[in-house]
């Protein structure tokens, strides 16, 4: 490339540190990278942003995917990517998002703590309805565009704080499930890490080979039940990942304890699931003879004749082919009955939830009690250590949009632990090329 052009573009390129104040304002740390709460230096009183510094260096495959996907999406209930910065000095990629002060993991934790302190405050019923409606709306948009989320859970459901979008849901993905899937590193080499399977659909636990829209719907059902009861419906001891085997006995046992063992007539194709034989060997239908969703919810004070229960049952249907779609769910009686869902999930009332705390740069611990420790962790937060997980593939055609950056070279950079199967920055023109490979989300 022309040297003068290179010098000129380097001088003109907007630098994240010149435009934003974010030092000491880290609000998240995970396998995906670091997230900071940021303010514009030019107008510090204006809105707040979230700046995500992607783990590793260079435009990795996952960075490429995330950017390419997010720049195509526009919906009020899906996180919106505002800008991408490439820091050429340290080869870091930064993504700028709107800042969401809350998320369902923290909101549910607030209510659980109140319950533990014997001062239970339930999540207001109107708020639950508005939250679920907006989650369905965002997921319906993604599904209509053949984007499957694949990792819906409370931590990925953000809620906007004070400001013009007060109380609006933003579906995000902190990316844990798909970041660390290095095909070359044996699982045994990794530090023990726990993951949660609480939101996993039964077909995934029985070895389904493909992700589907129905898998996202099951997760929404789990979140709905958790909002209604402040308890994770399919809570289960979290396991160290030692294998890439999708079959998780304890998680299935927990699902059957709540739902009952699936009847052949209710889920005919269960026989065709890859792990069906293991299931038959490990479980006895009679163990779960007394279990059903109605009993479980009644125990948690949700009436079986309520519209909320009726919708929940349709979302938590064991047979994925019979599970409700997001489109149908949004038209359900539950949302037509008063009070109808509102755009501000807090309904104009004061927000009781604390603001995000800053975490220190040198360790991974939240200053609050957000410890992501192995089996003692009652959270669904992504663990902080890296792990390789092997989710099933997503079927559907690849439809890569043109990217802003020219990508040049594959790098298999495994030693830093960042496991980039990625691409280097082109040190040349960062705004003219196109990226066009390996895009599998559509």
**Helices and strands (DSSP H and E) totals, the chain:** 14, 13
Determine the Cα–Cα distance for residues 366 and 27; give it in Å rounded to an integer. Answer: 8
Options 59, 171, 293, 435; binder of ligand 0SQ; rule CB under 6 A: 171
Residue 364 neighbours by CB distance under 10 Å: 14
Q: What x-and-dash track marks residues 33-52 binding ligand 0SQ by CB under 6 A? A: -------------------x
With b for 16 or more beta-carbon neighbours within 10 A and e for fewer, the 253-288 pattern comes to: ebbbbbbbbbeeeebeebeebebeebbeeeeeeeeb
Which value, in Å, is the radius of gyration of the alpha carbons in the chain? Answer: 22
* Residue 171: φ, ψ to 5°: -80, 130
Q: Which of 16, 51, 59, 69 binds ligand 0SQ (CB under 6 A)?
A: 69
Contact pick of 15, 40, 73, 75 for ligand 0SQ (by CB under 6 A): 73
Residues 6+ away with beta carbon under 8 Å from 350: none
CB 334 within 8 A of CB 310: yes
For residue 108, the minimal CB distance to ligand 0SQ (Å) is 19
How many residues make contact with ligand 0SQ (CB under 6 A)? Answer: 16
**66 binds ligand 0SQ, rule: CB under 6 A:** yes
Going 371 to 151 to 123 to 342, the CA torsion angle's sign is: positive
Shortest distance, CB of residue 83 to ligand 0SQ, whole angstroms?
13
366 binds ligand 0SQ (CB under 6 A): no
Catalytic residue among 103, 151, 173, 366: 151
Residues near 15 by Cβ (< 8 Å), separated by ≥ 6?
Answer: 85, 87
Does residue 96 belong to the site contacting ligand 0SQ (CB under 6 A)? Answer: no
Q: Does 332 participate in catalysis according to the annotation?
A: no
Interface residue with ligand 0SQ among 31, 53, 62, 418 (CB under 6 A) is 62
If you ran DSSP here, which 8-state letter would residue 71 be given?
T
User: Looking at 16, 25, 59, 79, which residue binds ligand 0SQ (CB under 6 A)?
Assistant: 79
CB of 313 to ligand 0SQ, least distance (A): 26
From residue 268, alpha-carbon distances to 106, 210, 274, 293, 319 in Å are 39, 18, 14, 20, 8
Q: How far is the CB of 173 from ligand 0SQ (least distance, A)?
A: 4
Tell me if 275 sits within 8 A of 210, measured CB to CB: no
By CB under 6 A, residue 153 contacts ligand 0SQ? no
Using DSSP, state whether 82 is helix, strand or coil: strand
Nearer Cβ to ligand 0SQ (147/190): 147
Pick between residue 173 and residue 203 the one whose CB is nearest to ligand 0SQ. 173
Task: Measure the CA–CA gap between 420 and 400, rounded to whole angstroms.
Answer: 19
143 binds ligand 0SQ (CB under 6 A): no
Distance CA 130, CA 116 (A): 26
Kindly indicate which of the ranges 129-137, 165-173, 258-266, 296-304 contains the residues binding ligand 0SQ, using the contact rule CB under 6 A: 165-173
13/71 with CB nearer ligand 0SQ: 71
173 within 8 A of 151, measured Cβ to Cβ: yes
Specify the residue, 82 or 416, whose C-beta has the smaller distance to ligand 0SQ. Answer: 82
Asked if 172 interacts with ligand 0SQ (CB under 6 A), we say yes
65 sits near ligand 0SQ (criterion: CB under 6 A): yes
**Of the candidates 29, 32, 22, 27, the residue with the CA atom closest to the CA atom of residue 419:** 32
Nearer to ligand 0SQ, 169 or 227 (CB): 169
The answer to whether 175 contacts ligand 0SQ (rule: CB under 6 A) is: yes
One residue of 173, 239, 332, 366 binding ligand 0SQ per CB under 6 A: 173
Near ligand 0SQ by CB under 6 A, which window of 13-21, 64-72, 248-256, 301-309?
64-72
- Does 149 participate in binding ligand 0SQ (rule CB under 6 A)? yes
Give the catalytic positions in this structure: 151
Binding site for ligand 0SQ (CB under 6 A): 52, 62, 65-66, 69-70, 73, 78-79, 147, 149, 171-173, 175, 178
């Amino acid at each position: 490339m022309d040297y003068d052009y290179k010098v000129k573009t380097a001088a003109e390129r907007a630098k994240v540190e010149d435009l934003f104040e974010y030092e000491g304002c880290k609000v998240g740390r995970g396998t995906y990278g670091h997230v900071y709460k940021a303010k514009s230096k030019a107008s510090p009183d204006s809105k707040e942003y979230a700046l995500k510094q992607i783990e590793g260096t260079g435009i990795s495959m996952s960075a490429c995917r995330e950017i390419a996907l997010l720049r195509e999406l526009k919906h009020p209930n899906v996180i919106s990517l505002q800008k991408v910065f490439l820091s050429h000095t340290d080869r870091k990629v930064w993504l700028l998002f709107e800042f969401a002060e809350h998320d369902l993991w923290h909101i549910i934790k607030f209510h659980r703590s109140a319950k533990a302190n014997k001062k239970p405050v339930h999540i207001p019923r109107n708020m639950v309805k508005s939250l679920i409606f907006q989650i369905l709306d965002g997921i319906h948009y993604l599904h209509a565009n053949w984007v499957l989320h694949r990792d819906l859970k409370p931590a990925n459901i953000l809620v906007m704080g004070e400001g013009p979008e007060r109380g609006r849901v933003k579906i995000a993905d902190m990316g844990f499930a798909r970041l660390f899937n290095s095909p070359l590193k044996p699982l045994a080499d990794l530090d023990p890490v726990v993951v949660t399977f609480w939101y996993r659909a039964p077909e995934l636990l029985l070895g389904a080979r493909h992700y589907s829209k129905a898998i996202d719907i099951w997760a929404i059902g789990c979140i709905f039940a958790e909002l209604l009861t402040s308890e994770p419906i399919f809570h289960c001891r979290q396991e160290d990942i030692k294998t890439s085997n999708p079959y998780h006995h304890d998680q299935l046992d927990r699902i059957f304890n709540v739902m009952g063992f699936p009847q052949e007539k209710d889920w005919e194709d269960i026989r065709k699931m890859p792990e069906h034989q293991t299931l038959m060997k490990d479980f006895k239908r009679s163990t779960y003879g007394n279990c059903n969703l109605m009993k479980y919810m009644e125990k948690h004070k949700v009436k079986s004749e309520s519209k909320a229960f009726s919708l929940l049952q349709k979302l938590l249907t064991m047979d994925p082919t019979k599970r409700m779609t997001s489109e149908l769910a949004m038209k359900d009686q539950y949302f037509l009955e008063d009070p109808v869902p509102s755009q501000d999930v807090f309904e104009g009332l004061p927000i009781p939830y604390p603001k995000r705390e800053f975490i220190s740069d040198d360790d991974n611990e939240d200053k609050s009690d957000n410890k992501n420790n192995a089996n003692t962790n009652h959270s669904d937060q992504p663990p902080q250590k890296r792990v390789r997980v092997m989710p099933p593939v997503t079927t559907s055609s690849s439809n890569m949009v043109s990217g802003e950056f020219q990508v040049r070279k594959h790098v298999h950079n495994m030693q830093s632990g960042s496991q980039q199967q990625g691409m280097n920055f082109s040190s040349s023109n960062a705004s003219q090329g196109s990226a066009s490979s390996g895009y599998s989300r559509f």
